[in-house]
Chain A
Amino acid sequence: MTTASTAAPTAEVTEIDATARCPLLLLLGFALLWLLVSGALALVNLVQLTTPTFAAACPVMTYGRAQAMQESAFIYGWAANAGLAVTLWILGRLSGAPLRSLNWTTAGAVFWNLALLLGLVGIATGDATVHGWIQLPRYVLPLLLVAYGAMAVPGVLAWTGRRQDTTFASQWYGVAALFLFPWLFSIAQMMLVFFPTRGVLQPLIAGWFVQGAWTLWLAPLMLAAAYYLLPKISGKAIRHYEFAALSFWTLLFVGAWTGGRHFVGGPIPAWVATVAGVSCALLLFHYIVVALNLGGAFRPAGSTVLWFVGAGLGAYLLGGVLDAVTSIRGVAMITQFTHFSTAQTQLAVSGAFSLTLFGAIYFLVPRLTGRAWPSLSLIRGHFFAALLGTAALVLALAVAGLIQGREQNNATVEFSAIAVHVKPWLLVATAGQAVLLIGNLLLAVHLLRAVCPFRQAATAPATFRQPPTMEASVS
């Protein structure tokens, strides 16, 4: 039922995409580069868990430094670049006008990634700070903050200058992510690195930042993409959309309170961990509404993008339930401070965030370049590698964590015996990470082929049909 209208505003690809091409492709290129770096380092880390002598002679590749580099490259390299690229594009599209001041994004991206490179070199030479998710050396942190502000300028302008008064869930989540990261990041820098608080307060702030960076930054970026892609591709309105705002505000108000869940059983006042566990339970309301809204992504109906979004959504919902369950103190007795916590983090960032963002990239790039992806099998290969790799990584780490947790609570089991018992599962996790890396390599190669000017003969110019008008029926 394609409408025959040729009016410019309803064309699928407009100058909105054309003007955004270079800055957004730059962000995506950086993102994939860091994703590969991070994947390779993660592989080194996992091998070291079972073979401690691996690369032990090389100071740069010792576990602590490699882990800090891997984590920073993933969060600040892949997640930040890719998340911003997709969110800026969605905000531009929904504002109904080309993104303005994109030079800010370009300049910001260059400085952001240079700072990150400097930061990784700093970590490699021993300048890392000690707090999770903010392990970059102190001298690059202010630069990152300023560069982020510059990159986000077009998104804010697209929000304030939108053509329609009406707003959509993607815009709420996207704008929230743009504004909340600087809030989290600046406070964490100040209170952990430049004017460090002392004693019990320090791990509390570190936990607040780690959890906030997920619930208030990466998760909203991922939800902005998911809320846009599902109705956009299926052509049907989001089910029970009237509850989406409740879900959004639940995440915003309760999300930051869940930071203490990392310390159940730890040396902090008991009420902090209890309030965090309770917040995780209240957050289930958010997950229920997201499941009601986006459940249509589990029926992709031939759309490869929705395969990715559906898989990412599944990981997101499972992660929410796991957060609530493992913050109950009886369960935390076993899972806390084990590989299980790592599995949860991987489920969130490699599962929910990355899978959804891959889908968004597959949707976005043909519209930026005006050309179809060169190969369908590369897309499918990437999907199955990403799904299989993430599932193997998360499941193996979860099982290893359960074994580790149960046996560490049992005083009769020697520590070395526990290491032997979890080793097979860590090997499975290593294999999963390797598959994941191969899949991401496929995406990187594919993107290179898609944008490389010399290979244009191999790619078909994209012919987008006029998108039909959305019906009121729900997906």
Chain B
Amino acid sequence: MSDQLPPDPRLEQAGASDESLLAVHEKALGKKPEDGAHYRLLPLMLLFVFSGLIFYAGTYLNHFSGHYSAAIFNENAHPAKAGAVAKVDPLVLGKKNYDLVCTTCHQATGMGVPGVYPPLGGSEWVNGSDERLIRIVLYGLKGPIKVKGADFGAAAMPVFGQVAGSGYNWSDEKIAAVLTYVRQSFGNNSPAITAEHVSAIRAKEGDRKEWSQEELLKIP
């Protein structure tokens, strides 16, 4: 009907009145299936296309969103793999926890309080056997103890490890970091303590009560 050329091509004739244009399209929205029993494939295809786009979008977002962090600018950087642990300097982690907790008794100088809290700097317990030192922090210590020739015993060393009766539940990594910090500060210069070593001792001893000086001295 409208395929015939209009009489004057400089004048575009209308193929439909505005009223009928509105009416016909309104009817189309009613979506009465006038195609008999034929199944309409297009809606399904569009659904698949849209789902495909959303799937692609989700995957792409997952790869390159940089955890939606305002600090990550490099979109080509691959996000850290699941389970990866960031490398932490044990001295930094150790000092942080020492300043939070240990400093209360052993003081920021690591020299303790004469007669009450034993010193750490220059202590034979700190710089000596790592087997004994780890056990003290893991399970605590009660009773008299001799440090740098002076007697202590008024206060008990609390339980720090992830063992029964622990008030702190510090992880083995944290204990290793604090001990490494202590062994390399306050004038000390002893080898670092590894988290594996702490774990091994905790596994060997299981749950037990605080150590005493006598028990510790039996350990090499």
Contact = CB atoms under 8 A, between A and B. Distances in A.
Interface of A: 1, 9-10, 12, 93-94, 96, 164, 166-169, 231-238, 240-243, 245, 264-265, 267-271, 273-275, 277-278, 281-282, 284-285, 288-289, 292, 301-305, 329, 362-363, 366, 372-376, 379, 460, 462-472
Most chain A CB within 10 A, of B12, B46, B54, B57, is at B12
B5 A94 contact: no
Contact of A303 (B1, B12, B19, B42): B12
Contacts of A288: 46, 49
B11 to A, nearest CB: 4
A378 B11 CA distance: 13
B17 A10 contact: yes
Interface in B63-95: 64-77
A-B pairs with the 4 shortest C-beta distances?
A235-B15, A270-B66, A270-B75, A470-B16
B208 interface: no
Contact of A274 (B8, B11, B14, B65): B65
Given A241-B29, A373-B11, A289 B16 contact: no
Contact of B8 (A232, A271, A460): A460
A259 B40 CA distance: 36
Contact of B75 (A282, A329, A379, A465): A329
A273 B12 CA distance: 45
A467 B75 contact: no
Contacts of B22: 94, 164, 166-168
A278 B54 CA distance: 9
Most chain A CB within 10 A, of B16, B57, B77, is at B16
A269 B5 contact: no
Contacts of A265: 75
Interface in B1-43: 1-3, 5-6, 8-29, 31, 42-43
Contact of A232 (B1, B5, B14): B14
Given A270-B66, A282-B53, A376 B9 contact: yes
Contact of B27 (A231, A373, A472): A472
Contact of A285 (B1, B50, B69): B50
B98 to A, nearest CB: 36
Nearest to B68: A271
B15 A236 contact: yes
A235 B1 contact: yes
B53 A281 contact: yes
A1 B27 CA distance: 22
B168 interface: no
Contacts, number: 186
B10 A376 contact: yes
A234 B24 CA distance: 14
Given A235-B16, A467-B14, 16 more contacts: A10-B17, A164-B22, A166-B22, A236-B15, A238-B25, A241-B25, A243-B43, A245-B29, A270-B65, A270-B74, A288-B49, A302-B3, A302-B9, A376-B9, A469-B16, A471-B24
A291 to B, nearest CB: 12
Given A470-B16, A470-B24, A235 B53 contact: no
A166 B27 CA distance: 10
A376 B60 CA distance: 51
A363 B31 CA distance: 31
Given A270-B72, A469-B20, A166 B60 contact: no
11 contacts: A236-B15, A240-B42, A241-B25, A265-B75, A269-B66, A269-B71, A271-B68, A282-B54, A460-B10, A463-B8, A470-B16
Given A242-B31, A301-B3, A467-B14, A232 B75 contact: no
A470 B54 CA distance: 37
Nearest to A242: B31
Contacts of B77: 270
Contacts of B154: none
B1 A373 contact: no
Most chain B CB within 10 A, of A241, A271, A471, is at A271
A94 B18 CA distance: 6
A278 B9 contact: no
Contacts of B10: 366, 372-376, 379, 460
Contacts of B73: 267-270
Contact of A233 (B14, B49, B64, B76): B14
Nearest to B58: A278
B61 A275 contact: yes
Contacts of B67: 271
Given A235-B2, A271-B65, A277-B60, A464 B46 contact: no
B57 to A, nearest CB: 4
A169 to B, nearest CB: 8
A420 to B, nearest CB: 30
Contacts of A243: 43, 46
Contacts of A233: 2, 12-15
Nearest to A283: B53
Contact of A10 (B19, B70, B74): B19
A12 B77 CA distance: 61
A264 B75 contact: yes
B21 A231 contact: yes
A469 B17 contact: yes
Nearest to A460: B8
Contact of B56 (A168, A271, A281): A281
A345 B42 CA distance: 32
A375 B9 CA distance: 9
Contact of A281 (B1, B24, B57, B72): B57
A236 B54 contact: no
Contacts of B74: 270
A277 B77 CA distance: 17
Given A243-B46, A264-B75, A366 B11 contact: yes
Contact of B17 (A12, A164, A277, A304): A12
Contacts of A289: 46
Contact of A366 (B12, B25, B76): B12
A278 B24 contact: no
Contacts of B18: 93-94, 96, 232
